[in-house]
Structure formats: C-alpha cells, structure tokens
Structure 1
Amino acid sequence: MRKYILILSTLFLFLASCKKNFLDVNSDSKYETDYVFSNKEEINRVLTAVYASLMSNDSYGNAYFSTFALNSDVEFTPFAGELPNVNGEDFRAFDGAQHAPSVQRFWNKQYEGIERANIFISGIENSPVFSTSDKDLTQMLGEAKVLRAMFYHDLVVMFGDVPFNTEPAMNLKSNFVIPVTDRNEILSFLINDLKGAAAGMKYASKIEDGDAYIDEGVERASKAFCYSMIARMALTRGGYALYSEGTRGTMKRMPDYKDYYLTAMQYADSVISSGTHKLGKAYRDVFIDQTNNVVNNNDDPIFEIPFLRNNSSNLGNITGPRVEGVENVTNHMWGVINGGMRLNAFYAYSFDRADVRKDYTVGTWGYDAAGVPQVLVDYSLYNNKWAKLWADPSRALGSQSQGGTGINLPYMRYADILLMYAEAVNEVEDGLSGPHGAKALDAFKQVRRRAFVEADHATKVESYTNAAAASKESFFNAIVQERKWEFGGENMRWKDLVRWNLYSKVVYDSFKEYLIVASMVGGDFMDGSEAYQSLPFNKFFRRVANPGNKEIYPNTTLPIIEFYNPWEGVLHPGTGWEMTTLYSWYNEDTSMPRAQILYSFRGFIKGGPTGNWESMDRNGLPPVRYILPFPNQAIQLSNGAYKNQYGY
C-alpha cells in the first residue's frame, strides 16, 4: 500500500484530462475506462489513488487532528488575543472565518477524495470484468464506498449540511452546482449504501492472508471497518447537532433518533461478534507500535490511515512533548518535535490515579536543544500519543527530522466499537436491564480492564462498572467519562460532546476552571475555589538518568524527570529536588487573569472588559458554534447558491 500510494498518488492525473469543477478541486474524471477497469491489477491501482486522498496534511495528515481539534476539557490550545486573528484560523477557539486557508484546503481535499471514490465506484460497477461473485472486486468496491462515506461523514460533522453527489463530475453538466443536502439525508444514504457493500467485503485478517491484490490488513477498509462506519454514522445521525435556527443556532436531534441508535447497536455488535478484533495489547503499545510503523491486523486498530515514512503524516511531530534543536537539529536520533497539539491543563486530574492511560497520554516535560528535560509550565499539557521519542532507535527518523513521520492515524479502534455498543444498548433499551444489557456491560468492562492492572480489576472494573450500571443515567455518565479517558489526544472529545448536547456545559465549566485557578493566584477566591486548594502550585522534581525500563518510559535513552508528587501540593521534600511554579496565570500589572485564560474559548465564552461569562447561566447556555464555514472559494464558484450561516 505504502509503495503504491507513493508511486500512484498522481495516477488519476495521468489518466485524466483535468478540469475545475464548482468545488475547485481536480476533477479526475475523463480517462480510458476500458483500459483502467479491464483487469484486477489495474483496478486495484486506481483504488490506491482514492487512498492517496487521505494522506495530505491539509486533511488527515495534520489538520483533522490539529487545526480542527476544537477546545474542550480534553484537547486545548490557548489563545491570547481578544479579537480573532486576521488569518481567520482561530477555529479551536470557535472564532475562525471563511477566508481561512486551512478550511479551503480541508474542503478541497475531502471533495477530491469523494470525486476519486465516485469515479472508482462508477468505473468498477460498469466494468466488463465486474461480478458480484468476484470477492476481490466486491471487496474493492466496498473499500471505495467506505472511504467515500468517511470523507462525507467528517464533512457533515464539521460543516453540517454540505453539497452531496455520488456521480463523477464528468456526468454532471459543466455549470451544474451540486445542491447543499440536509446532513440527515446524507448520513441515511451512506448508512444504507454501506449496508449493501458490507456483504461483499472481507475482514482484515482475511485481507492479510494472501489475496492477490489486497494484502494490507487494517491499512485497507475491511468488513469490520464498514460495519464500524455504519455504527459511527448512525450515532452521528441519532445524536444532537447544531442547526441554523434562531440567532446562534439550535441544538436538536431528529424524532427518529432511536432508530439510528438501534442501527449503531446492531452493527457495533456485528464487529464484536465477528471476533476479528480485541484489546489484547497494552494501551500504550497500540500507539507505540504505530510510532514504529508496526501494523496489527487483529487487535485494537480497525482502520489505520496508511501514511508514508519520510513523506506524510504529522503524527509524532505535532503530537508528543516539545523537543527543541539547534537550527532544528537535535543531538539525538529522534529529531525535533513541535508538540503543539496539546491537552487541557486539568485533564490529567480527571483520571483515576491508577489508570495506566494517564501517564502514557499526558506529558508534563519536554527537552531543550541540549537534550535536557524541562518541566512544562504552560496553559496546557503535552499529548504524548505517537511521540517520535517512542520509536525504537533503529526506527528513529534522525536528528534533522520533523514531520513526514509515516505514523498511521488509527481512525477507528475496537475500543470505540465497544463503547459505542454499550452506549447504544443503554439508549435503545433504556438502561442495562434489557436482553443486551449484560453484553453491553461486558463491552464497557473490556475497555476498563485494559486501563488498570489486574490487581485493581475487582475495584476499578467490577465494582466501578456495576455501580455505574445502576441506572440509564449513571451508565451514560460513565460512558461520557470513559470516552474522555480512552480517546484523549485523538480529537474525538468535542464531536462526542456535540452529539450528546453537552458541549456548551463542558466549555463553560472548562473556562470557569481556568478562571478560578488563575484568580486564586491573584488572591481572588471565587465560588468553587475550594475544589482546587490541593493542586500542586509548587511542583518538585529532579532530573535522573533513564532507567531503561520500557514498561515505564517508552524512550529508554534520554534522561527523564521524576516528580515528588505530581498530584497534590506538598511541603518541600528536602535536598536534591528542584521546584517549579505552575498556574502562574494572573497578571499583576492588570490585576486580571492572563489573556490566555480570558480568551481561549472566546467564540463562546470570554472574560476581560468585554467578557460575557458573568451574564451566562449554566442551565440556559447557547450552543457552541462548532460548525465550520463554507470556504470563500466554494461560495464564489457556486454563484451565490451557497451561503454561510451560524454567524459567519
């Protein structure tokens, strides 16, 4: 797959006479169909070009999990400006604009992928060699349909109602403008389309076992991924979303939402019942394997976007602790790390202290240019998933490396399926007393079991889960929290909060949390301050040699930082320990919390002289404007048919 994508990512351009359609993306539509779709090998190569559309940094290689990682109680980027940046890129603070280059590039890449998928689907369905009895060809047809659904699903989640078309652009009139279609109609179509495609597809383990043209396992869309996409789209279709009604829009879900929760339940169960995936590996090893370009076809990953080493993917560079260099060159083999895709400063404190996911996901130190570890003193925490530092020395990219890591993005994981199934059963059967309750409880427990060592299972898994199962509401709340801990740093939190209609409250609470702690430093103990009295405002640490134990520190070479007590404020432990001060978020000159505290959620809630937070009622909050704007270019090329709403 990786070799073919590198060679064939421009295949459509070679075969096509390129033109511009209304979306201003390359319309790779007119080619020698008889030649391209005349045999399986050529068909598979054309499919590879559809996969190539996944790989740009404008979409899944970077922007998907960074530029559009909107602020919440998990992912977080501080903003110091009271007013939006002129470049329009402040989407993470809910304050972006339609002229932002990133939104145009993401839009173009998604529609490029859709166009390529449409071309492939039309070509193979009309191919003289296609037969529904040919499992290689029905597998490839299913792959293209799953990828098309993936492109469209993410457009719908991020933009709401979007232009929808399932035909190659060459079949449309030259001046035809594809109409904007209701998101629910789009999702319903795609769900039904994948239901039909699933029967002709293979599981990843079967794809791996020597098929002539398909041998990449979870780097290709499998039957399990097809089922998984149906489940994910069904929960999106059944969940809440922002609609352009009223001044700031309205959050609502459709009256038939339970039908889609039932669909999600059924198709998540299909993945579980297949027995093709499991949570066998340790939590950290799932991501460390990806950092080392190791692909596991029967464990947690169900679909990984296949990136090219030294060519694509910014995972491991934008994620991970910040690592500096001298003119971007390090004195070790792992190279610099930007480390800009960060986590909420209070996220670590939400974990159970025994949860093994915490210490792998959350990072509190990075490295200076001399390779000396430095405690992070900031408004956020590092997202340690996929850090390049976790690569085995033999797989490290070198002292001059930055991006282009080739680290696969796990777009769908089995843990997600287990929690989707538990959530759907709880909603459909109004709790866990129905016929599928026991299986839903076990699915939830599987995720918890991996998160704690076996000695803790009796209390942290069995007792905890059984107590949570007491009511529909308590189990739902447990799922909300479990997804928070399981998927930290994967840019899933805000999307979950949207479909649960919890985003406004969580953003409000996150703003207040930052504001309360910052104000405490300035001597203003607001209501709620008592909950933060035990925070380690002074943190004690020492630098020590790496113990070389990969079970504790995935990088076994560079020196590390050891904290005396990372959880609570303590008295000075004595000689040998250094001290750093956290949460210095109060500006004595202005007698106010610092700008990053006041304005990091400013498109929804902000402080300062023009702030609105004091007038907001937590029980009557407006919706968060998470919807992205249609880019200017798309609006212009539509001759005014497309219009932005939601205050853009």
Structure 2
Amino acid sequence: MRKYIIILSTILITLTSCEKDFLKVNSDSKYEGDYVFGNKDEINRVLTAVYASLMSNDSYGNAYFSTFALNNDVEFTAFAGELPNVNGEDFKAFDGAPHAPSILRFWNKQYEGIERANIFINGIQSSPVFSPSDMDLTQQLGEARVLRAMFYHDLVVMFGDVPFNTEPSMNLQSGFVIPVTDRNEILSFLINDLKETASGMKYAADLTHGVERASKEFCYGMIARMALTRGGYALYPEGGKGAMKRMPDYKDYYRIAMQYADSAISSGKHSLNKAFRNVFIDQTNNIVNNNDDPIFEIPFLRNSSGNIGYVTGAAVGSFNDLTTHVWGASNAGMRLNAFYHYSFDRNDLRQEYTVGKWSYDANAIPQVLVDYTMYNNKWSKLWADPSKALGNQSSGATGINLPYMRYADILLMYAEAVNEVEEGVSGANGARAIEAFRQVRKRAFKDADQAVKVNAYIQTAAASKETFFNAIADERKWEFGGENLRWKDLVRWNLYSKVVYDSFKEYLIVALMAGGDFIEGAEKYQNLPVNKFYKRVANPGDRDIYPNTSLQVIEFYNPWEAVLNPGTEWLTATYYDWYDVNTSMPKNQIAYSFRGYVKGGPSANWESLNPNSLPPVRYILPFPDQAIQMSNGAYKNHYGYN
C-alpha cells in the first residue's frame, strides 16, 4: 500500500536560494543509515529536513495563517456566495469539503514533517555517536521532538482525532495503516515526551541561530500550549455535527501549563522591552531578536519561501506585475473583522499598528479601505527598510519569519492557568499571574496612561476569577490580532459559538440600519461613524508613526467620530455600505460569510437560533478524501461531512 508519508530516501533534499546556512541540505537522496547517523554533520543535515517541512506554503508558509484562519471577531474573510464553492475551500465560513486541494496539501505536509522527525529521532537515538552527555546531540534530538509535537498539535486542533505514530514508516509492516488515535492520548503522550526532552535542550540565547531553532523555552512553551489544549474544550463527534466538551481531568493540565509557562518565565531569557510594533517590523526586516518577544520563529527564506507580508499588510497594486517602488505587490488576503479596531481602548498602541485602514493602488496612491474588512498590518512588506525590500517585481516568497510563539503568549498562558487552577488570582501564585498580565498590557500604553489603563484596569480585573478571565480573553484578542490564534482560543474556552453568532449579528445589524431597519441590538451602533474624513499627506518620515518613510499616507480627522468641524476641508469615505437597495436586503457578504454556521438571505437560519443555547461551530476540518480512500475504510469523517 502506498505510504501517506515520506521515507528517508526523500528527506535529504537540496534547498535553493537559502540565506540561512543551517537550512542548506546537500546530501545524496539515498539512505545509508549507518553513515548518516554516525556523522554529526550528516545528522544536522537530516534535522534540517525536518525544518524544511515547516516552510511550505501548503503549511506554515501560507495555509496555516491564511487558508485556515477561520472567521471570528478578529480574523475575517467575506463570502458572497449562498452555496459552497465547488472547490470545497470555504473553510473560513465553516463550509469546506474533504475534496478541497488545500486540505490534502496541508495534511500531507504535516505528516511529511512528522515522518522526517520520526526518522531523525529513531536514527539519532540508535547512533553510535549519541550520548546523553553530548549537549549538541541532545539539543538536536530535542529540536526534532519539539517540532514533531508542533506538527501533531496543530493537526489535533484542526482535525481532532488523527492518525498517530512515532516510528519511521520504514519500520512498519507493509500495508500498515496508522490508526486514528484519540486526541487526548496524543496530547498526553507529547506533553510527557517534551517533559523528558526539556532538560537536554539549550536556551535560544545559546544557539547559533537563536529563536529560529527550537529551544528549551520553546519546549516549555509547547508543553504549556498543548496542556491548555488538552485541558480546554473541543468538538467531539457526537450527535450529527458534534458536541463541545472537556475532560474531567482538565485541571491537571492547567497545572502543567502553569508549571511550564512559569519555567519559561523564570528562566529570565525573554522580555517585552521592544515596542509592540517593532517586534513585527524587525521580522519584516529579517532582524532576529533572541531575548525579546519571539520564542520561536519559523525561518523562511527571502525570494524562496513564506508569504507573510504578501497576504498580510495592506494591498499594493501593480502595473504588469511591477510597482513604482521597491516593495512590490501584495494581495493582503488575510483580513480583519471590520469592527475589531473598535474593541480596543482608544489609547492602545497596538490598534494603530495592527489594523490597516488603507491600501496603495498601482500608482502608489493610498486608498481608504471601505469594504467588509480591515487590513492585517502585521508584517506588511511596506515596513521593510528600502535596502531590504524585495524589489518592484516581487510578490510572495517574502522570507519574513512567522513568530509561531511569542513571550507574550507564554505570559498570558501562565496568567490564565493560575486563574483556573487557583479559582482566581488571590492565591499563592496570584501576584505572579497579575504581574505576567501586567507585562503584556504595560507595553500597549504610553507612560502617561499606565496609572489608569494598566494599574487601575488590572486591579479591577483581578477582583474575581470571572473578571480576570474576561480580561485575559480580551488581552489575547488585542495582542494576537492577525496571528490566527483567536478562533483556537475561543474553542478551548467554549466561546466560539457565541462569538460567531454575535459577529454575524453585528454585521447584519449595521447592514440593516443602512436600509432603515432597526432590529434588537441596533441601539449600540447608533453613533457608529459611517462617514470618516481623511486626507492624503506626505509621509512625515517618523518611523514611530509610519515605519515606511517615503510613500504617501492617510491622515484621518477622527476615526472614532462621524462629526466634522465646519470650514475644514477633508475627503469623505463612507463605510458600511452593506445594504442592497435593489433587493431591499443586506448584501450577500453580510448574509453568507458565516454560512456554515449562521446565515441570512432567503435560507436564513439566524432567527431560529437561540442565543442562550447555541449549537457548536463545526470548526473541525475533514480528513482529505484521498487519505480516507487510501486507508481502505479505516478512516472516516464525522461532524456532518459527506
């Protein structure tokens, strides 16, 4: 039977256009195990192949944070069709299908990485040169185990119970079908595996390539992340499209998350000293910081891999695939919810950087965005210094690293775990949980705002378990916008149904208001600034405001208000034009962008849903058709997939 995942004969590949020398693989493509794992240089090359599996656009180079960024109150893609696309790719609207090409490519790439990791782990442990006292080799073994855990964790979050195997496929019997394993068993195994692994690993500061390699603190962070996933809610295949539940032993895993997040924090190896915007601007400029916010960055290659900066940031137009400037074109396909920026405190420094409100046409003239979304401004290509720009013919393959895990995440995971384990933050670890939360929020406000927006805010939030949890949920929303973490957080908190329903209603209410129809909840939006006033102005050259210092920018009169003082000359952008006067109904993008769960239009179901007893969101992705066919019936889909 044809294998689903590769064997070592296809691992030792050659990578081209490689600026990061540790990603170069030049070995022959045949397996000579005694030689490969008996030679330290060759061992490193095999490990490099595991990293190479991270870099495909079918996985972390694009699909992970774009194709599978499911709609919510932060990340959002509009859909205009009432029926699913025939290609099956409408996963963001909870309406995808097992025959979709992207689902098969992602599945294959994840299992490719797992197989490469399994081969490496098996080979190095059997190597005559391996010794537990050799910190270089135990570090490499740890890297492979951490990456394997990363591949499996993301499969579990996205697919639920999945085929699980920790042996190279060459060691399995011919025709053996890897069995589907309960997700909780998978996560428990991986957590224990990394617990044993951490002691043999080095901190990023001690690694030649720093946070571009899996480190001890990333190992700690992965244990914490997997423990919260294991302890949180998830969709299980019960009753049609499934049921949300969490395991009775969930607090045991919150304790594990608390312990290992604390280990990363207590190491003192990371901080949040850099300004929030500069974390991402540095990544856009290929600057790697080993002791600040990034914990692990997936190391992409300029002009070779990674679409961050092309699908993120503002849209940038071109003539015949050429731009009039050195940054090149961008499609800005990964967008943000139109109302997301209103959720921020007006003084929150993260809002102005994260949420992009204008694009550039082919003449490099800024144009205000007035559709159903906002731009995800993190990692915009336009933030690169001109000397590091990719050129006027460039598009994707930006080589901008993806920060798969940040220190801010570890701090907030710790605060969340303490709050859950100790039923609030008044217990033994409460002060440390509050301080972890404070570090994240402190960076988001200027010094003059600290007393009210940070200190007083946290004091109020810490009053009870519920209020502190709500503050953490909000802080994660504002901190990680555009990083495709929001829907995963909402799932483990069992809040995804409520947030999706409320987001649909928000779009619907504002669209109906434009047609003069005021339904329940409309009063909240009476003062929504439909008209926003702006000017195109020369770039002031202040990198604290606009990291790009040459292209024109948009200056808004007051984006929070719709009132213009008399006698001032500003252009007007009209937002929320979401009502079709010809049909006397909200436009299709309002009706169908969440259609796999809740929708409007002629076949609307939103009025029949009880907001106090909502069904679960079918966020789980289907097994690819090809995987099911090749399993000879061992694999099957649930959750209403045909």
TM range (shorter): over 0.9
Alignment-mate amino acid for residue 24 of structure 2: I
Tell me what 2:453 maps to: 460
Question: Counterparts of 2:364 and 2:566 in 1: how far apart (Å)?
Answer: 26
1:7 is aligned to 2:24? yes
1:493 is aligned to 2:486? yes
Give 3-state SS (helix, strand or coil) of 2:612's partner.
helix
Question: Counterparts of 1:231 and 1:538 in 2: how far apart (Å)?
Answer: 45
1:472 alignment partner, one of 442, 465, 482: 465
Tell me what 1:611 maps to: 604
Aligned 8 A contact 1:5 1:52 in 2: no
Aligned 8 A contact 2:325 2:392 in 1: yes
Counterparts of residues 100-139 of structure 1 (less than 5 Å):
100-139=100-139
Question: Counterparts of 1:637 and 1:243 in 2: how far apart (Å)?
Answer: 24
Give 3-state SS (helix, strand or coil) of 1:421's partner.
helix
Aligned 8 A contact 1:5 1:51 in 2: no
Kindly state the Cα deviation for residue 604 of structure 1 after the two structures are TM-superposed. 0.3
Tell me what 2:200 maps to: 200
Give 3-state SS (helix, strand or coil) of 2:374's partner.
strand
Give 3-state SS (helix, strand or coil) of 1:620's partner.
coil
1:376 alignment partner, one of 357, 369, 379: 369
Question: Counterparts of 1:568 and 1:346 in 2: how far apart (Å)?
Answer: 14
Give 3-state SS (helix, strand or coil) of 1:307's partner.
coil
Tell me what 1:211 maps to: none
Tell me what 1:344 maps to: 337
Kindly state the Cα deviation for residue 44 of structure 1 after the two structures are TM-superposed. 1.0
Question: Counterparts of 2:21 and 2:386 in 1: how far apart (Å)?
Answer: 27
Alignment-mate amino acid for residue 15 of structure 1: S
Offset from partner CA, 1:44-63 (integer Å, 9 cap, x none): 11101110000000000000
Query: Cα RMSD between the aligned structures?
Result: 1.0
Kindly state the Cα deviation for residue 571 of structure 1 after the two structures are TM-superposed. 3.5
Kindly state the Cα deviation for residue 2 of structure 1 after the two structures are TM-superposed. 4.5
Tell me what 1:41 maps to: 41
Q: Percent identity?
A: 76
Kindly state the Cα deviation for residue 573 of structure 1 after the two structures are TM-superposed. 4.7
Offset from partner CA, 1:454-487 (integer Å, 9 cap, x none): 1111001100001000000000000010000000
Aligned 8 A contact 2:24 2:45 in 1: no
Q: How many residues end up aligned between the 2 structures?
A: 624
Question: Counterparts of 1:330 and 1:561 in 2: how far apart (Å)?
Answer: 19
1:511 is aligned to 2:528? no
Question: Counterparts of 2:131 and 2:276 in 1: how far apart (Å)?
Answer: 42
Question: Counterparts of 1:245 and 1:86 in 2: how far apart (Å)?
Answer: 27
Aligned 8 A contact 2:298 2:404 in 1: yes
Kindly state the Cα deviation for residue 6 of structure 1 after the two structures are TM-superposed. 5.4
Question: Counterparts of 1:247 and 1:206 in 2: how far apart (Å)?
Answer: 51
Tell me what 1:26 maps to: none
Aligned 8 A contact 2:533 2:564 in 1: no
1:186 is aligned to 2:186? yes
Kindly state the Cα deviation for residue 39 of structure 1 after the two structures are TM-superposed. 2.1
Give 3-state SS (helix, strand or coil) of 1:199's partner.
helix
Question: Counterparts of 1:612 and 1:305 in 2: how far apart (Å)?
Answer: 41
Offset from partner CA, 1:471-513 (integer Å, 9 cap, x none): 0000000001000000000000000000000000000000000
Instruction: Point out where structure 2 has 5 or more consecutive residues left out of the alignment.
Output: 1-17
Give 3-state SS (helix, strand or coil) of 1:15's partner.
coil
Alignment-mate amino acid for residue 267 of structure 2: S
Aligned 8 A contact 1:519 1:525 in 2: yes
1:598 is aligned to 2:615? no
Tell me what 1:155 maps to: 155
Kindly state the Cα deviation for residue 564 of structure 1 after the two structures are TM-superposed. 0.6
Tell me what 1:173 maps to: 173
Give 3-state SS (helix, strand or coil) of 2:554's partner.
strand
Alignment-mate amino acid for residue 156 of structure 2: V
1:355 alignment partner, one of 342, 348, 353: 348
Counterparts of residues 289-300 of structure 1 (less than 5 Å):
289-300=282-293
Alignment-mate amino acid for residue 359 of structure 1: E
Kindly state the Cα deviation for residue 574 of structure 1 after the two structures are TM-superposed. 3.4
1:248 is aligned to 2:241? yes
1:235 alignment partner, one of 228, 235, 255: 228
Question: Counterparts of 2:500 and 2:346 in 1: how far apart (Å)?
Answer: 24
Tell me what 2:578 maps to: 585
Tell me what 1:426 maps to: 419
Kindly state the Cα deviation for residue 5 of structure 1 after the two structures are TM-superposed. 6.0
Tell me what 2:71 maps to: 71
Aligned 8 A contact 2:298 2:403 in 1: yes
Offset from partner CA, 1:72-122 (integer Å, 9 cap, x none): 000000000000000000000000000000000000000000000000000
Question: Counterparts of 2:191 and 2:628 in 1: how far apart (Å)?
Answer: 28
Tell me what 2:532 maps to: 539
Offset from partner CA, 1:296-329 (integer Å, 9 cap, x none): 0000000000000111010000000111010121
Tell me what 2:84 maps to: 84
Alignment-mate amino acid for residue 511 of structure 1: F
Aligned 8 A contact 2:497 2:617 in 1: yes
Aligned 8 A contact 1:2 1:306 in 2: no
Question: Counterparts of 1:255 and 1:574 in 2: how far apart (Å)?
Answer: 65
Tell me what 1:439 maps to: 432
Aligned 8 A contact 2:23 2:51 in 1: no
Aligned 8 A contact 1:431 1:475 in 2: yes
2:514 alignment partner, one of 514, 521, 543: 521
Alignment-mate amino acid for residue 515 of structure 2: G
Alignment-mate amino acid for residue 537 of structure 2: V
Alignment-mate amino acid for residue 29 of structure 2: L
Give 3-state SS (helix, strand or coil) of 1:579's partner.
strand
Moved more, 461-470 or 568-577: 568-577
Question: Counterparts of 1:356 and 1:328 in 2: how far apart (Å)?
Answer: 34
Alignment-mate amino acid for residue 546 of structure 1: N
Alignment-mate amino acid for residue 234 of structure 1: A
Summarize the Cα distance change of 1:61–1:382 in structure 2 as closer, same or farther, 3 Å threshold.
Answer: same
Question: Counterparts of 1:573 and 1:106 in 2: how far apart (Å)?
Answer: 55
Aligned 8 A contact 2:328 2:394 in 1: yes
Alignment-mate amino acid for residue 522 of structure 1: G
Aligned 8 A contact 1:6 1:308 in 2: no
Alignment-mate amino acid for residue 67 of structure 2: T
1:394 alignment partner, one of 368, 381, 387: 387
Alignment-mate amino acid for residue 99 of structure 1: H
Give 3-state SS (helix, strand or coil) of 2:548's partner.
coil
Alignment-mate amino acid for residue 503 of structure 1: Y
Tell me what 2:13 maps to: none
Question: Counterparts of 2:132 and 2:85 in 1: how far apart (Å)?
Answer: 53
Give 3-state SS (helix, strand or coil) of 1:366's partner.
strand
Question: Counterparts of 1:492 and 1:357 in 2: how far apart (Å)?
Answer: 16
Give 3-state SS (helix, strand or coil) of 1:403's partner.
coil
Question: Counterparts of 1:454 and 1:220 in 2: how far apart (Å)?
Answer: 35
1:226 alignment partner, one of 216, 219, 238: 219
Offset from partner CA, 1:201-220 (integer Å, 9 cap, x none): 0000111xxxxxxx101000
Aligned 8 A contact 1:540 1:572 in 2: no
Question: Counterparts of 1:574 and 1:365 in 2: how far apart (Å)?
Answer: 25
1:327 is aligned to 2:328? no
Tell me what 1:316 maps to: 309
Tell me what 1:28 maps to: none
Alignment-mate amino acid for residue 206 of structure 1: D
Tell me what 1:98 maps to: 98
Question: Counterparts of 1:517 and 1:39 in 2: how far apart (Å)?
Answer: 65
Question: Counterparts of 2:448 and 2:442 in 1: how far apart (Å)?
Answer: 10
Question: Counterparts of 1:573 and 1:292 in 2: how far apart (Å)?
Answer: 43
Aligned 8 A contact 2:24 2:48 in 1: no
Question: Counterparts of 2:29 and 2:586 in 1: how far apart (Å)?
Answer: 58
Aligned 8 A contact 2:299 2:401 in 1: yes
Aligned 8 A contact 2:241 2:638 in 1: no
Aligned 8 A contact 1:4 1:45 in 2: no
Tell me what 2:255 maps to: 262
